[in-house]
Amino acid sequence: MDRRFLDIAAGAVSTPAERPSRAEVEAAVRTLIAATGDDPAREGLRDTPARVARAYGEWFSGYGQDPARLLERVFGEAAGYDDTILLRAIPVVSTCEHHLAPIQGLAHVAYRPRDRVVGISKLSRLVDAYARRLQLQERLTNQIAQALDGALNPRGVGVVIEATHGCMSTRGVRQHGVSLVTKCWLGEFRTDRGLRDELMDSLRSARRGAAD
């Protein structure tokens, strides 16, 4: 069965039957500009709809990627390595699906291999593929962990995301410097508190080292 169909059925992806044309997108942006009380025809805003349409192509490029394919190439040449593999501080650039406000932060992805490993750049690409969609941070955290678990069948997976949300800092309570932390533990990370503590200690040590 097509992976994209499975993603849609699981609620991971929801797309309209037909995407709007570039002209329709630009017209919608002009409407939003007018809604602010400004004039979309004035010189400084005249090219903004086209710029926003191009920017959306980057911000939401994750819809054009199949995260499972990013993890298809694996290696069984880890020479028996079975300890935790951790890639820290992967940049997260996403968009809150409730207010279309930015989500920015860092993802930390760890797994304990059974007999296969994946190239480290693929971990970063996996995060980006899911992040560059309309998202909830909680769902994003789970999607990354479940994809890695399904592709590698490791002994355990741990994903931690720390991010700030524009919908909280620029509207509503307007609180700055507040970050949301979400975690997903699978396999040995779920059953072994010592492994979880070790991973979180590693992240705290890295933050302290960066602050020194």
The residue from 65, 104, 146, 167 that is catalytic is: 167
d(CA 22, CA 49): 10
The residue from 26, 108, 135, 137 that is catalytic is: 137
- Catalytic status, residue 165: yes
- Catalytic status, residue 99: yes
- Catalytic status, residue 108: no
The residue from 96, 143, 184, 188 that is catalytic is: 96
The residue from 65, 99, 104, 198 that is catalytic is: 99
- Catalytic status, residue 97: yes
| 61 DSSP assignment | G
The residue from 26, 135, 143, 165 that is catalytic is: 165
Q: Which residues pair with 111 in a beta bridge?
A: 85, 157
d(CA 157, CA 148): 7
Which helix (H) or strand (E) segment holds residue 177: the answer is: none
The residue from 65, 97, 146, 198 that is catalytic is: 97
Residue found by looking up tokens 């009380």 in the block: 37
d(CA 38, CA 133): 28
Beta-strand runs (E) in the chain? 74-75, 85-96, 102-112, 117-118, 134-135, 156-165, 180-187
Q: What is the DSSP string of 105-165?
A: EEEEEEEE-SS-EE-HHHHHHHHHHHHSSEE-HHHHHHHHHHHHHHHH--SEEEEEEEEEE
- Catalytic status, residue 18: no
Residues designated catalytic: 96-99, 137, 165, 167
